[in-house]
Structure 1
Amino acid sequence: MTNAPTPRTILITGAAGGMCRGVNARLAAAGHTVLCADLSRDAAEQAADAVRADGGRAEAFTVDVSDPASIADLTAEVHDRAGEIDVLVNAAGILDRKYLADHDEHSFQRTLDINLTGPFRMIQAFSPELIRRGWGRIINISSIAGVTGYPYPSYSASKAGLSNLTRSLVIDFWGTGVTVNSICPGVVDTPMVIQEVRDQVPRKVPTEQIVDPAEIGGLALFLMSDDARNINGADMLIDGGATRYFQLFDRP
């Protein structure tokens, strides 16, 4: 008989996004407490309410991952209201649909600050408690855009950086009981995905399927499990085989 998983407290940034709604629900359904952090308090409350409506445990928090002061406030509020966390999921991110010629330095840097430096700040803020307790999971939501390249260079560069940050941090967590991995989704069924991309799925994704957000939640659950205790510093692709065949965009 398999023992029930230990209930964990999971902090998710960008928790109000379309992808994370499915992740939140999957994690809460497994008996874990989900701390929904987002830039908008109202959006975070709605995400938490959706979890609670299905019988799960959730709390709402506000954070701007590009602002160190906001992360400091989040850290204090989480510890005050929920105690220490067990799992950190860095999912906050933006996609700036600009080609090279359309970018200026500010717009390029803004994407990096949210998608790459934001997770770095969050890990710095919350990893000491994971290390102190001798167990923890850090899961960065990257993208196949960081594996294959992408027409939008700020997004591609930020996700490539996030995946390599993941690989590099295994040194910092050596022997601590904390693992750090990234999940690299392909085309996910969210409002962010434009119809042009959806239309390409049957001819560019070998499974001919778009990824359900709940599948990403399922992969996160696996990474939290004892069966994944030796998976560390990995990029976990969940893309229907797209990166093994060809890129998702034609040349513009």
Structure 2
Amino acid sequence: MTRPVSSLNVLVTGAGGGMCVGINARLAAAGHTVLCADLNLAAAEAAAERITAAGGRALPFELNVSSDESVAALHAAVSEQVGPIQALVNAAGILDRKYLQDHDTASFQFALDINLTGPFRLIREFGPELVEQGWGRIINISSIAGVTGYHYPSYAASKAGLSNLTRSLLVDFWGTGVTVNSICPGVVDTAMVIQEVRDQVKKKVPTEQIVTPEEIGALAAFLLTDDARSINGADLLIDGGATQVFSLFDR
């Protein structure tokens, strides 16, 4: 099945900052309208303004991915302002730097609610309209932590769950023209990455390079093309080879 139009309405969650700076820019450069959704409306507005200043098309929206009501309100607002979407990029997430004994049940559950249940809410809400159109793309921003494990269990568990959700949804979207994939970045050049991790890149990443947000965006933009129609249910690693040499016990 081919794309219904050349320019897509692409909803990006967590669009206000981090790696979404690169994701937004590459999607806009490909000619798509970027619907910037973020818990911080001012950040979403700033993201949309950066895109429009560069000649692209974007609109800001407020979104709390941990709220069913907020997700439903976003759907209503998007439908009213631009109509149906053709692609969803679930990029909203948190990294809680807590070891097991530092967590209580509420803090562990909160990380899962943002990183795993949040994407589930968005897919459940917007998935039916993708199916109705007979074409769609769902991209979940996971992590190599979901593949290898990680020192912070809430983050690793939530990302592993997100990658498995991606694979599991193939049944729900079978034969509909909708594909579901995960992008699993390694160390990405964002404010979330602490200096201690940056200092270890040459030791732990075979390319000796940190991943740029623009690289993540380029991969997301490719997944929206018809050339990527057979990529489905995949965990796409973009980590400079770090996963292949990862050691959980080398802190």
Question: Distance between the aligned counterparts of 2:153 and 2:64, measured in 1?
Answer: 23
The answer for the alignment partner of 1:113 in structure 2 is 113
Question: Distance between the aligned counterparts of 2:207 and 2:225, measured in 1?
Answer: 26
- Residues 1:170 and 1:51: Cα distance change in structure 2 (over 3 Å): same
The answer for the alignment partner of 2:135 in structure 1 is 135
The answer for the alignment partner of 1:39 in structure 2 is 39
Question: Distance between the aligned counterparts of 1:86 and 1:12, measured in 2?
Answer: 11
Higher relative contact order (CA 8 A, sep 6+): 2
Q: CA deviation at 1:245?
A: 1.3
Amino acid at match of 1:54: A
Amino acid at match of 1:233: G
- Residues 1:30 and 1:249: Cα distance change in structure 2 (over 3 Å): farther
Amino acid at match of 1:44: A
Amino acid at match of 1:175: G
Deviations 1:139-198 (A, max 9, x none): 000000000000000000000000000000001000000000000000000000000000
Tell whether the 8 Å contact from 2:180 to 2:233 is kept in structure 1 after alignment: yes
Report matched runs for 1:80-159 at 5 Å. Answer: 80-159=80-159
SS of alignment partner, residue 146 of structure 2: helix
Q: CA deviation at 1:247?
A: 3.6
- Residues 1:247 and 1:186: Cα distance change in structure 2 (over 3 Å): farther
CA RMSD in angstroms, aligned pairs only: 1.0
**Ranges in structure 1 where 5+ consecutive residues have no aligned partner:** none
Count of residue pairs brought into register by the alignment:
247
Tell whether the 8 Å contact from 1:139 to 1:220 is kept in structure 2 after alignment: yes
Question: Distance between the aligned counterparts of 2:40 and 2:114, measured in 1?
Answer: 15
Determine what percentage of the aligned residue pairs are the same residue: 72
Deviations 1:119-149 (A, max 9, x none): 0000000000000000000000000000000
Tell whether the 8 Å contact from 2:33 to 2:57 is kept in structure 1 after alignment: yes
Question: Distance between the aligned counterparts of 1:249 and 1:114, measured in 2?
Answer: 27
- Residues 1:63 and 1:144: Cα distance change in structure 2 (over 3 Å): same
Question: Distance between the aligned counterparts of 2:77 and 2:247, measured in 1?
Answer: 42
The answer for the alignment partner of 1:236 in structure 2 is 236
Tell whether the 8 Å contact from 1:242 to 1:248 is kept in structure 2 after alignment: no
**Which deviates the most, 15-24 or 239-248?**
239-248
Q: CA deviation at 1:248?
A: 7.3
Question: Distance between the aligned counterparts of 1:14 and 1:104, measured in 2?
Answer: 25
Following TM superposition, the consecutive aligned residue runs of length 4 or more in structure 1 with deviations greater than 3 angstroms are none
Q: CA deviation at 1:17?
A: 2.0
SS of alignment partner, residue 193 of structure 2: coil
Q: CA deviation at 1:249?
A: 7.1
Amino acid at match of 1:169: L
The answer for the alignment partner of 1:26 in structure 2 is 26
The answer for the alignment partner of 2:220 in structure 1 is 220
Question: Distance between the aligned counterparts of 1:101 and 1:214, measured in 2?
Answer: 36
Question: Distance between the aligned counterparts of 1:123 and 1:83, measured in 2?
Answer: 17
Tell whether the 8 Å contact from 2:151 to 2:248 is kept in structure 1 after alignment: no
SS of alignment partner, residue 36 of structure 2: strand
When normalised by structure 1's length, the TM-score is 0.96
Q: CA deviation at 1:18?
A: 1.5
Question: Distance between the aligned counterparts of 2:67 and 2:89, measured in 1?
Answer: 18
Q: CA deviation at 1:58?
A: 0.4
